[in-house]
Amino acid sequence: MEKLKLSVYISEEDIQKKVKELGQKVTSRLKGKNPVVVCILKGSFVFYSDLIRSIETDLECEFFGVSSYHGNTSSSGEVKVTLDLSHPVEGRDVVLVEDIVDTGLTMNYLKSTILSRKPKSLTLVSLLEKPEALKVPCELDFVGFKVPNDFVVGYGLDYQGYYRNLPYIALVQNFQ
Ligand code: IMP
Ligand code: MG
C-alpha cells in the first residue's frame, strides 16, 4: 500500500461531538416514527455505526453499496451499485447516511434512486461536504463539517481501500 503523509484535520473528539449533534437533529425530525436508516457503503459505515447510536427512535438499518471513485482521488461521475437495499422503502421515512459529498454526483444519484421508490420522506445526512467541489446542486438536510477541496482519509474514508480505520479525519499532505 502507498504510505501517505497525513495530518490530523478533525480530531476524534470533535467528530464524536458532532455525530451526537447530528443524531439529535435526526431524532428531532423523526422521533416517534420508525425510519429506515441507510448506510451508504463503504465509506459511511464508521460514521453510520456511531450515528445510529445517537438517534433516539426505533429504526431499521439498511445498507446500500455504491462505488463512485474506483480507487482514484477524482470522481469519475459514474456510480456503480454494488449492493441494493434488502427491502422496499415505499411509504417509509428514509434517512440516507453518506460520509462525504464531493461533486454531489453520488448523492444525487442516490436521491433520485430512492425517490423513485416512493418513500414517505427522505432525509439526507453527510458527515462532510466539500462545497467548492460541487458539480451539481446537492441540498443536504444535515451536514457535520464543510471541508476544503482537498483529499481526506480516516473514520471510514479511504485512499485505495486503506486508512478507513483511523479514528480521526486526516488531510493527505503529499497530493499534487
Ligand atoms: P461525489 O460523487 O463526487 O460526491 O463523491 C462522493 C464519494 O467519493 C464519497 O462517498 C466518497 O466515497 C468519495 N470521496 C470524495 N471525496 C473524498 C475524499 O476526500 N476522501 C475519500 N473519499 C472521498
Ligand atoms: Mg462514499
Tens-place pLDDT, residues 120-172: 999 999 999 999 999 998 999 999 999 999 999 999 999 999 999 999 999 99
Pocket test for ligand 1, best of 99, 129, 147, 153 (most atoms within 8 A of CB): 99
In angstroms, rounded to a whole number, what is the distance separating the alpha carbons of residues 125 and 143?
Answer: 6
In this prediction, residue 131 carries a pLDDT of: 93
Element (H, E) at 76: none
Name every protein residue with a CB atom under 6 angstroms from any ligand 1 atom. 43, 68-69, 75, 98-107, 151-153, 157
Arithmetic mean of pLDDT over the chain: 93
Residue 74 has pLDDT above 90, yes or no: no
102 labelled catalytic: yes
All three cell numbers of 11, joined, read 480530531
In this prediction, residue 44 carries a pLDDT of: 98
Residue 71 has pLDDT above 80, yes or no: no
Which ligand 1 atom is at minimum distance from the Cα of 157?
Answer: 21
Catalytic residue (one of 99, 102, 141, 158)? 102
* Residue 34 CA to ligand 2 centre (angstroms): 25
In this prediction, residue 69 carries a pLDDT of: 59
Determine phi and psi for 15, rounding to 5 degrees: -65, -50
What strands, in cross-sheet order, belong to the sheet with 60-67?
80-83, 60-67, 36-41, 93-101, 121-129, 142-146
Q: What is the pLDDT of residues 20-36, one digit of tens each?
A: 999 999 999 999 999 99
